[in-house]
């Protein structure tokens, strides 16, 4: 089977991680232009009020046209601390938050210069946390917009069509006493709520 051509995401959505986990091979396109309003520098977690975006601020802002490999993270504000405080506020009640908290804090506070480097470190950590070996690499050069050597799934994991057409299997989220199940959140939501059994969910769910 042809390898997947996929975008780089910040703590990717559940369906994004499942695409990588189930693929024979996946190649992250780091030469594509940065795409604003995408999940390349943001992720959706679940708060008591519903979905909440965590966004990594970028030098030159979100309107830049740089290739993904050249996009730099902005640290003028201490966003890693803000993200960790928000995660604690939303997930301290979850069964497994404390198990992963220190590793996530270390990932963010290492302060890599480039967004791609942060996202690749996250993917590597997720592979270990999920006890799932990802066969994943990065592009070595700019690819044609349409390349027959790859199955192009970029931006498919968070599309409205995907969310509407995919059958989701519920798992116990933190605030289900206040709101209905919210599908395809950040992989962090699944990890904090399901721990090591997240890997089974990714393989066996109807996602």
Quote the pLDDT of residue 159. Answer: 72
Range of the domain at 160: 4-204
Distant-in-sequence, close-in-space partners of 66: CB < 8 Å, separation ≥ 6: 33, 34, 60
Express each pLDDT in 34-90 by its tens digit: 998 899 999 999 999 999 999 999 998 777 789 999 999 999 999 999 999 999 999
Task: Sort strands 136-138 and 26-28 into parallel, antiparallel or unpaired.
Answer: parallel
H helix or E strand, kind and range, residue 199: helix 198-204
φ, ψ for residue 79, nearest 5 deg: -65, -30
pTM across the whole model: 0.92
Express each pLDDT in 183-203 by its tens digit: 899 999 999 999 989 998 888
Quote the pLDDT of residue 168. Answer: 63
Domain count, the chain: 1
Residue 5 and residue 147 in contact, taking contact as beta carbons nearer than 8 Å = yes
Angle at 163 between CA 157 and CA 166, to 5 degrees: 95
């Amino acid at each position: 089977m042809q390898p997947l051509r996929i975008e780089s995401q910040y703590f990717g959505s559940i369906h994004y991680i499942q695409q990588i986990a189930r693929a024979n091979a996946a190649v992250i396109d780091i030469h594509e232009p940065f795409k604003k309003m995408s999940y390349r520098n943001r992720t959706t977690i679940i708060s008591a009020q519903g979905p909440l975006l965590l966004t990594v601020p970028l030098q030159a802002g979100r309107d830049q046209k740089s290739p993904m490999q050249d996009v730099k993270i902005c640290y003028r504000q201490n966003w890693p601390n803000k993200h960790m405080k928000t995660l604690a506020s939303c997930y301290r009640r979850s069964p497994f938050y404390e198990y992963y908290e220190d590793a996530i804090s270390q990932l963010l506070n290492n302060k890599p210069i480039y967004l791609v480097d942060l996202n690749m470190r996250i993917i590597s950590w997720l592979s270990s946390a999920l006890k799932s070996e990802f066969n994943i690499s990065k592009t070595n050069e700019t690819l044609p917009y349409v390349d027959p050597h790859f199955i192009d799934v970029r931006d498919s994991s968070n599309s409205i069509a995907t969310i509407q057409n995919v059958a989701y299997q519920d798992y116990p989220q933190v605030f289900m006493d206040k709101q209905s199940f919210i599908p395809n959140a950040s992989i962090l939501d699944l990890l904090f709520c399901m721990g090591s059994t997240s890997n089974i969910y990714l393989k066996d769910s109807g996602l």
